[in-house]
Structure 1
Amino acid sequence: MHHIVSDGVSMNILLSDYMTAYAGAELPPLRIQYKDYAVWQQGTLEAERMEAHEAYWLSAFTEEAPVLELPTDHTRPAVPSSEGGRVHAEISADVAEGLKKVATKTGSTLYMVLLAAYNVWLHKYTG
């Protein structure tokens, strides 16, 4: 099971139910099911507010995403491919420590700092 669909509490419940069923015991019927939650959630959301959100996202994605034209050493193939490669690089301990300090100072994670740097790099190369 992928970690995005469960957490520690959910996994404990799942394993407990699984072990109970595996031992041959009956599981108690559920008081509430996901469909009950979905009905409750739909009832609590304002229709007009949701329509405004839906209209925003539909308009945000009306245009096709632009192609990022990075300078390359070969021509772009006629049929796009999602195949890629890996680039291995090492940074010095001083640079790593500096990045961690930036993350701490800005209240962000190291991933966020590196992602921001990557976005700046893409902007500089593509304009």
Structure 2
Amino acid sequence: MPKGVEMSHGALVNSLAGIGTSKLRTLQFATLNFDVSCQELFICWKDGGVLVLVREETRRHFSDLLEFIEREAIERLFLPFVALNHFAEVWSAQRVQLPSLRELYTAGERLQATPLLRTFFEAHPNARLINQYGSTEISVISEHHLAADPSCWPQMPHVGRPIVNTRVYLLDGHGAPVPFGAVGELYIGGAGVARGYLNRPELTA
């Protein structure tokens, strides 16, 4: 079931603190009803970067999107993993070079280092892949910068370490920390935790 949560402005500000401060040309890819759009918008406004808007028909057709990214010299992209993998698949057919690309953030689903992704990043050695994780109840919780050499990537890259002002704990059924390497329930604390479920418990899974 979908969950209804209220994210504070402070959670967004805290998540932006972990993103690099370089003034990059960033594509506004996510629709405005998706939380990643806030990262795309505010990271540019925070650091004085350039936010590049794209038409809906271009956003939907990745062959056109690749040409748009090349033409507009996009340097930073935020793409969920499914979109990222499709992006790499379309790129493999067109082989459009994107020399301006520097940072590619992915989140939303578990990242897999597919052969398509490895090939794409091998062809773009100046671009770095950054994996972020955040559950519904929190904004971005952790971040992991993958190695520059895609051949070093594990098949299932980890989600990284907690970002600033955030804590993560793995606890057992009694609320005690589990031993290193053991399975536990994920508990999150810190600046990015949602305020609650909008007083609508029926939306809570």
Which of the pair is proportionally richer in strand? 2
Which of the pair is proportionally richer in helix? 1
TM bracket, shorter-chain basis: under 0.3
Ranked by relative contact order (alpha carbons within 8 Å, sequence separation 6 or more), the top structure is: 2
After TM superposition, the score normalised by the length of structure 2 is 0.16
After TM superposition, the score normalised by the length of structure 1 is 0.22
